[in-house]
Amino acid sequence: MRTMMAADRTLMAWIRTAISLFGFSFAIYKILQELQDGGKILPHENTPRNVGIFLATMGTAGMVMGTIEYWFTLQELRNFQQFRLCRPPFIMAILMSMTGILLCIGIVTRLF
């Protein structure tokens, strides 16, 4: 039971990190865009967009990797004890992973 709760806490840390990176990506994008609009010269014209995309993609990648790691941990733990796979952290992680993937797809399709 302790191992399962530790896995839950680890997954919740991944969720927290992903949410932070999503929010940080929008904040940095807006800050850099305001600096650029105010006359500050940035290394490239698309720097705000690229930094925002990078941070959103990193949050999504971390969330997906954390979810996959959690899934494998649950599969190993099921060899020793029976429990439901529909655990609240797992459901939240799947929702966050899908949200991140849709966010990245939306950003990329808007570029083209």
Q: What is the DSSP string of 16-47?
A: HHHHHHHHHHHHHHHHHHHHHHTTPPPSSTTH
The residue written with tokens 């919740």 in the block is 12
Q: CA-CA distance, 52 to 21, in Å (whole number)?
A: 9
pTM equals: 0.80
List, for residues 1-56, the tens digit of each pLDDT value: 888 889 999 999 999 999 999 889 889 888 888 888 888 888 888 888 888 889 98
Amino acid at 31: I
The residue written with tokens 């999504």 in the block is 60
Provide the 10 A C-beta neighbour count for residue 3. 12
Domains in the chain: boundaries: 2-111
